[in-house]
């Protein structure tokens, strides 16, 4: 999936405020660093030279040096003013982040697991709420309120092109607001080390026009269709009698477990295993057969099936759109 993941390319007001603060901080630190190097160079050029046989020169210990004293005082004063300016900029940035209007906001509840993201769309009517995993669709131009939770260890939710980082701590609830101002696909990442597969814990935010988002959300609210006779029907029977149904839910069937991602619309997603694989029949087969080969340490067990049964299972899962 061709997704944008760039802290220097903000496409929402929250990311824009963070980027402006970062730019200011970089500029100030660059100026200070250059000034320190220049002072060091001047000191080296003006320092007296002595040989190995030269006697120590301690005359400066008792000699007043008002010029150097004034230079040090000026440098300390300038450093203090610059630090105060950065503190003020941080405060104004924090206030700007808090001023994002949330009128008519889309509400999401994101729970981080080792190592995937559970996403629940919270609607005023409970029957309209639905769940997905690792992909977040949002309408462009509409604010989004994300309630963040962690199921096991500390994680961190970060979509650099849309917002700053926010930690997810077990037993606590955090909130992050953002708005995508341009259609596109934005890559997110867990930004807090959370175990052996921390690096393979990505997610994607797909910002799209409101009418396209509405069509997607309506499709997500539908339960899984009844497979026709043949391979998909046999694949569903294999799913229900295997260990798959012990961890995953497929709405409209008797599989209602919540240990792993909801698979009701698995085939509509672009990736598998939190961005580790493309969602193709070949990679899906590979993932089901031996997840440890792809993501060592993942809690999903290997599923040993004959070639025919695996084809039927993958065929069924590919119908879940």
With a pLDDT cut of 90, the percent of the chain lying above it is: 78
> Based on the domain organization, do 148 and 211 belong to the same domain?
yes
User: DSSP class of residue 179?
Assistant: -
Both 243 and 190 in one domain: the answer is no
Is the torsion defined by CA of 234, 277, 293, 133 positive or negative? negative
* pLDDT band at residue 1 under the 50/70/90 scheme: low
Q: Are 142 and 106 in contact (CB under 8 A)?
A: yes
Answer whether residue 24 is part of any domain: no
Q: Give the model's confidence band at 215: pLDDT under 50 very low, under 70 low, under 90 confident, else very high.
A: very high
Q: What is the enclosing helix (H) or strand (E) of 133?
A: strand 130-133
Least confident of 28-32, 40-44, 58-62, 273-277: 58-62
Same domain, 199 and 144: yes
Instruction: Please state the rounded mean pLDDT for residues 87-103.
Output: 93
In a domain? residue 311: yes
pLDDT mean over 22-44: 93
User: Is the same domain home to 257 and 212?
Assistant: no
Q: Which of 221, 253, 273 is the last residue of a domain?
A: 221
Which of 169, 175, 209 has its CA nearest to residue 192? 169
Report yes or no: 107 and 147 within 8 Å, Cβ to Cβ.
yes
In this structure, what CATH number is given to the domain that contains residue 196? 2.60.40.420
- Give the list of residues 6+ apart from residue 155 with CB closer than 8 angstroms, or none: 112, 167, 168, 190, 192, 194, 201
Mark whether 162 and 268 lie in a shared domain: no
Contact 78, 71 (CB under 8 A): no
What would the pLDDT profile of 291-300 be if each residue is shown by its tens digit? 999 999 999 9
Is pLDDT of 276 > 70?
Answer: yes
The helix/strand/coil state of 321 is: coil
Q: Do 211 and 297 fall within a single domain?
A: no
Same domain, 296 and 202: no
237-246, long-range: CB within 8 Å, 24+ apart, which pairs? 238/305, 238/309, 238/312, 238/313, 238/316, 239/313, 239/316, 239/317, 242/303, 242/305, 242/313, 243/301, 243/303, 244/303, 244/313
- Alpha-carbon span 94 to 102, nearest angstrom: 16
Residue 3 lies in a domain: no
CB 276 within 8 A of CB 295: yes
What's the total number of domains in the chain? 2
Q: Which of 119-133, 153-167, 204-218, 227-241 has the lowest mean pLDDT?
A: 227-241
Check whether 87 has a pLDDT greater than 90.
yes
Nearest Cα to Cα of residue 202 among 264, 146, 133 = 133
Whether residue 283 is predicted with pLDDT greater than 90 in this model: the reply is yes
Question: Around Cβ 306, how many Cβ atoms within 10 Å?
Answer: 9
Residue 15 lies in a domain: no
Q: Mean per-residue pLDDT for 247-253?
A: 93
Owning domain of residue 258: 231-317
- Residue by residue, DSSP assigns 206-218 as EEE-HHHHHHHHH
pLDDT in tens, 112-151: 999 999 999 999 898 899 999 999 999 999 999 999 999 9
DSSP 206-273: EEE-HHHHHHHHHHHHSPPPPP-TTHHHHHHHHHHHSGGGGT-B-TTSS-B--SS---TTGGGSSEET
Q: Which of 19, 140, 18, 36 is nearest to 82 (CA)?
A: 36
Instruction: Please tell me whether residues 242 and 311 are part of one structural domain.
Output: yes
Nearest 5°: phi and psi at 200?
-105, 50
- Per-residue confidence (pLDDT) for residue 38, from 0 to 100: 93
The answer on 278 and 307 residing in a single domain is yes
Residue 235 backbone phi and psi in degrees, to 5: -65, -40
Encoded tokens for 263: 């698979």
Tokens 């994607």 -> residue: 204
216, 15 Cβ separation under 8 angstroms: no
Quote the pTM value: 0.86
Mean pLDDT over the full length of the chain: 92
Beta bridge partners of 174: 148
């Amino acid at each position: 999936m061709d997704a944008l993941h760039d802290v220097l390319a903000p496409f929402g007001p929250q990311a824009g405020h963070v980027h402006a603060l970062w730019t200011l901080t970089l500029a100030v630190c660059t100026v200070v660093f250059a000034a320190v190097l220049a002072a060091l160079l001047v000191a080296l050029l003006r320092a007296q030279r002595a040989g190995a046989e030269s006697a120590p020169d301690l005359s400066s210990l008792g000699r007043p040096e008002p010029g150097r004293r004034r230079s040090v005082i000026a440098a300390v004063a300038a450093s203090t003013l610059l630090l105060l300016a950065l503190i003020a900029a941080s405060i104004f940035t924090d206030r700007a982040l808090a001023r994002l209007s949330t009128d008519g906001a889309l509400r999401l509840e994101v729970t981080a697991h080792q190592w995937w993201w559970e996403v629940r769309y919270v609607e005023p009517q409970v029957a309209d709420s639905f769940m997905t995993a690792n992909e977040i669709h949002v309408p462009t131009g509409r604010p989004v309120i994300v309630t963040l939770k962690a199921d096991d260890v500390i994680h961190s939710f970060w979509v650099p092109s849309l917002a700053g980082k926010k930690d997810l701590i077990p037993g606590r609830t955090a909130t992050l607001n953002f708005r995508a101002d341009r259609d596109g696909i934005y890559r997110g990442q867990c930004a807090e080390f959370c175990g052996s597969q921390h690096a393979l814990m990505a997610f994607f935010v797909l910002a799209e026009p409101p009418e396209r988002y509405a069509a997607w959300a309506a499709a997500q609210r539908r339960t899984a269709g009844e497979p026709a006779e043949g391979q998909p029907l046999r694949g569903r029977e294999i799913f229900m009698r295997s260990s798959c149904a012990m961890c995953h839910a497929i709405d409209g069937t008797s599989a209602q477990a919540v240990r792993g991602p909801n698979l009701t619309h698995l085939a509509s997603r672009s990736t598998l295993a939190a961005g580790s694989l493309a969602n193709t029949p070949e990679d899906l087969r590979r993932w089901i057969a031996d997840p440890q080969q792809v993501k060592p340490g993942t809690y999903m067990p290997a599923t040993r099936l004959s070639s025919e049964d695996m084809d039927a299972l993958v065929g069924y899962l590919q119908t879940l759109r």
